[in-house]
Structure 1
Amino acid sequence: MCGIAGAINLRGETVPDLGRRLDVMGELIAHRGPDDHGTWAHPHGHVGFAHRRLSIFDLSACGHQPMTDDAGQVITYNGEVYNWPEVRTELGGDWCTQTDTEVLLRAHERWGADAVDHLRGMFAYGLWDERATQLTLVRDRFGIKPLYYAQAGDVLYFASEAKALLPFLPAIRTDREGLKDYLAFQFCLAGKTLFDGVRELLPGHRLTVRNGAIRTERYWEVYYDLDWTHREAWYEERIEALLHDSIRMHLRSDVPVGAYVSGGLDSSAVAGLASLYDPGTTPAFTGRFEGPEYDESRYARLLADERGLDLSVIDLDVSDFTREIERVIYHLDFPVAGPGSFPQFMVSEAAARDVKVILGGQGGDEVFGGYTRYLIAYFEQCIKAAIEGTAQNGNFVVTYESIIPQLESLRSYKPLLQEFWREGLFEDLDRRYFRLINRAPHVEQLVNVEALGDYDPFHQFAEIFNGRNVGHESYFDKMTHFDFKTLLPALLQVEDRVSMAHGLESRVPLLDHPLVELAATIPADVKFPGGRLKHIFARATRATVPAQISERTDKMGFPVPLVEWANGPARDFVRDTFTGDRDLYDRRAVLDALEGEAKFGRTFWGLFSLELWQQRFHDREHEFRSLLTTETTT
Structure 2
Amino acid sequence: MSAIWGIIEKKIQSVQSAQTSLMRNHYEEHCRIDRIEEFQNDSCYMACGIQHFTPEASSEHLPVSPGDGRYVFTADVVLDNREELIAELVTEQILTTEGSNNRPDRKRPAVITDGFLLQLAFERWNYDFVKHLKGLFAIAIYDTEKRELFLCTDQISNRCLYYYCTDSQLVFSTMLTPIRLLHPEIRPNRHYHRDFLIAPGLFPGFTSDESPWEDVKLLEAGTFVLINPDGIRKTEYWKPENIPVSGKIRDAEKQFLSIYRTAVHRALRTSGEVGIALSSGCDSSSVAALAATELKSQEKLLHSYTYIPHYKIKPKYYEINDETDGVKALGRMYPNIDMHFTDQDGRDFTDTLSDLIETVEIPFKSFINLSGLAEIYEAAYRKGCRVFLSGQNGNSTVSYGDADDILYDLYRKKKPLRWLRLYNRYCKNAGYSRKKYFRGLWSIYRRADRIMKDPPIDRSLLNSFLSPKLFEDYDLKSQLPEGIYYTTEYCPGEEQTNKALLYCKCIFSFLGVMDTKMSLRYGLLLRDPTRDPDLLSFCNSVPYEYFAWNGNPRYFIREAMKEFLPKEITAIHAKIGIQNADWLMRMDANAEHVRKLQLSALKNAPSCVKKDEISAYINDHPRIEEKNREQELELCIIFSYMKYCNLYAAQSSSLNPT
TM-score band (shorter)? 0.7 to 0.9
CA distance in 1, matches of 2:292, 2:275: 10
Aligned to 1:6: 6
Bigger mean CA deviation after superposition, 300-309 or 491-500: 491-500
Aligned CA distance change for structure 1 residues 283 and 190 (closer, same or farther; 3 Å): closer
| Alignment match of 1:352 (pick from 353, 378, 381) | 381
Aligned mates of 2:237, 2:420 — CA distance in 1: 31
Conserved 8 A contact 1:366-1:481: no
2:101 match: none
Instruction: Return the letter of the residue paired with 2:606.
Output: R
> Distance in 2 between the 1:100 and 1:289 partners?
41
1:83 correspondence with 2:107: no
Aligned to 2:97: none
* Structure 2 counterpart of 1:186: 204
Identity within the alignment, %: 18
Report the Cα offset of residue 71 of structure 1: 6.1
Partner of 1:254: 271
State the one-letter code of the partner of 1:540: A
CA drift at 1:195: 2.6
- CA drift at 1:137: 0.7
The one-letter code matched in structure 2 to 1:514 is D
Give 1:378 deviation, angstroms.
7.6
When normalised by structure 2's length, the TM-score is 0.79
Question: 1:300 corresponds to which residue?
Answer: 327
Contact 1:176-1:453 at 8 Å conserved across structures: no
**Is 2:362 aligned against 1:334?**
yes
CA RMSD of aligned residues (A): 3.7
Change (3 A) 1:613 1:170: same
Larger mean CA deviation between 102-111 and 500-509 belongs to 500-509
Identify if the C-alpha distance between structure 1 residues 95 and 21 changes in structure 2 by more than 3 Å, giving closer, same or farther.
same
Q: Does 1:584 align with 2:601?
A: no
* 1:604 matches 2:635: yes
Whole-angstrom distance in 1 between the partners of 2:262 and 2:588: 48
- 1:544 is paired with a residue whose SS is coil
Given the alignment of the two structures, is residue 142 of structure 1 paired with residue 156 of structure 2, yes or no?
Answer: yes
Aligned residue number for residue 614 of structure 1: 645
Partner of 1:231: 248
For 2:206 and 2:503, how far apart are their aligned partners in 1?
A: 14
Q: Which residue does the alignment assign to 1:475?
A: 494
In structure 1, what is the equivalent of residue 235 of structure 2?
217
Indicate the residue corresponding to 1:562 in structure 2.
583
Partner of 1:428: 451
After TM superposition, the structure 1 = structure 2 runs for residues 84-103 of structure 1, keeping only pairs within 5 Å, are: 84-93=82-91, 94-96=107-109, 97-103=111-117
SS at match of 1:311: strand
Query: Once the 2 structures are TM-superposed, how far is the Cα of residue 153 of structure 1 from its aligned partner?
Result: 4.4
> Are the counterparts in 2 of residues 267 and 361 from structure 1 also a CA contact under 8 Å?
yes
TM-score by length of structure 1 reads: 0.82
Show the 5 A alignment for 1:42-57.
42=41, 44-45=42-43, 47-57=44-54
Once the two structures are superposed, the pairs formed by residues 63-462 of structure 1 within 5 Å of their partners are: 63-70=60-67, 72=69, 73-93=71-91, 94-96=107-109, 97-167=111-181, 168-184=183-199, 185-211=203-229, 213-223=231-241, 230-278=247-295, 279=298, 280-290=300-310, 291=312, 294-308=321-335, 309-319=337-347, 321-338=349-366, 339-354=368-383, 355-368=385-398, 370=400, 392=416, 399=423, 402=426, 426-429=449-452, 441-443=460-462, 445-450=464-469, 453-461=472-480
Please identify the structure whose Cα radius of gyration is greater.
2
C-alpha separation in 2, matches of 1:407 and 1:157: 60
Whether the 8 Å contact between 1:258 and 1:359 is mirrored in structure 2 is yes
**Cα drift, residue 528 of structure 1:** 3.2
* Residue 568 of structure 2 is aligned to residue 548 of structure 1: yes
Instruction: Measure the CA separation in 1 of the matches of 2:65 and 2:419.
Output: 53
Contact persistence 1:364–1:510 (CA under 8 A): yes
Q: Which shows bigger deviation, 305-314 or 280-289? A: 280-289
Aligned pair partner of 2:525 in 505, 517, 527: 505
**CA displacement 1:494-522 (0-9 Å, x = unmatched):** 33333432111112222332222112111
Q: How many residues align?
A: 589
- Seen in structure 2, the aligned counterparts of structure 1 residues 430 and 479 have a Cα distance that, compared at 3 Å, is farther
The 8 Å contact of residues 6 and 48 in structure 1, kept in 2 or not, is answered as yes
* SS of corresponding position for 2:577: coil
Shift of 1:68: 3.3
Structure 2 unaligned runs (5+)?
Answer: 92-106, 316-320, 433-439, 486-491, 622-626, 653-658
User: What does residue 37 of structure 1 align with?
Assistant: 36
